[in-house]
Structure 1
Amino acid sequence: MTRLTVEDLNQADKERFVDAVGDVYEESPWVAKRTWSEQPFSSIDGLQQAMANTVQDASQQKQLELLRAHPDLGERTEMTDESQEEQASAGLDRLPPAQYETFQTLNDTYRDKFGFPFIMAVKDESVGTIQQAMEDRIDHSRSKEFQTALNEVNVIAALRLEELTVPRDGTQEQHA
Structure 2
Amino acid sequence: MADRHSSPALPLRPAPSRLNREAFIARFGDLYECSPWIAAAAWDQGLGSDDDSVVGLARRLAAVLDAADEAAQLAVIRAHPDLAGKAALAGELTDDSRNEQAGAGLDQCSPEELARFTRLNAAYRARFAFPFVIAVRGKDRHAILAAFEARLDHTPDEERRTAIDQIHRIARLRLASRAAAQ
TM-score, normalized by the shorter chain, greater than 0.5: yes
Whether the 8 Å contact between 2:80 and 2:131 is mirrored in structure 1 is: yes
Q: Distance in 1 between matches of 2:124 and 2:12?
A: 38
Indicate yes or no: 2:119 matched with 1:98: no
Q: Which residue of 2 aligns with 1:74?
A: 84
The CA deviation at 1:4 is 7.4
Encode CA deviations 1:29-52: one digit per residue, 9 max, x unaligned. Answer: 001000013301413211110100
The CA deviation at 1:8 is 2.3
Identity level (%)? 37
Whether the 8 Å contact between 1:38 and 1:50 is mirrored in structure 2 is: no
Matched residue of 2:171: which SS?
Answer: helix
Q: Which residue of 1 aligns with 2:147?
A: 133
Query: Which stretches in structure 2 are left out of the alignment for 5+ residues?
Result: 1-9
Query: After superposition, where does 1:42-61 map in structure 2 within 5 Å?
Result: 42=50, 43-61=53-71
TM-score (norm 1): 0.90
Whether the 8 Å contact between 1:110 and 1:118 is mirrored in structure 2 is: yes
Indicate yes or no: 2:168 matched with 1:154: yes
Q: Distance in 2 between matches of 1:4 and 1:16?
A: 17
Q: Distance in 2 between matches of 1:6 and 1:47?
A: 12
TM-score (norm 2): 0.87
Q: Which residue of 2 aligns with 1:13?
A: 20
Whether the 8 Å contact between 2:34 and 2:79 is mirrored in structure 1 is: yes
Q: Distance in 2 between matches of 1:10 and 1:94?
A: 41
Q: Which residue of 1 aligns with 2:32?
A: 25
Q: How many positions carry a matched residue from both structures?
A: 166
Matched residue of 2:24: which SS?
Answer: helix
Q: Distance in 1 between matches of 2:56 and 2:97?
A: 24
Q: Distance in 1 between matches of 2:12 and 2:56?
A: 12
Q: Distance in 1 between matches of 2:150 and 2:41?
A: 34
Whether the 8 Å contact between 1:90 and 1:127 is mirrored in structure 2 is: yes
The CA deviation at 1:6 is 5.5
Q: Which residue of 2 aligns with 1:122?
A: 136
Q: Distance in 2 between matches of 1:99 and 1:44?
A: 35
Query: Which stretches in structure 1 are left out of the alignment for 5+ residues?
Result: 168-172
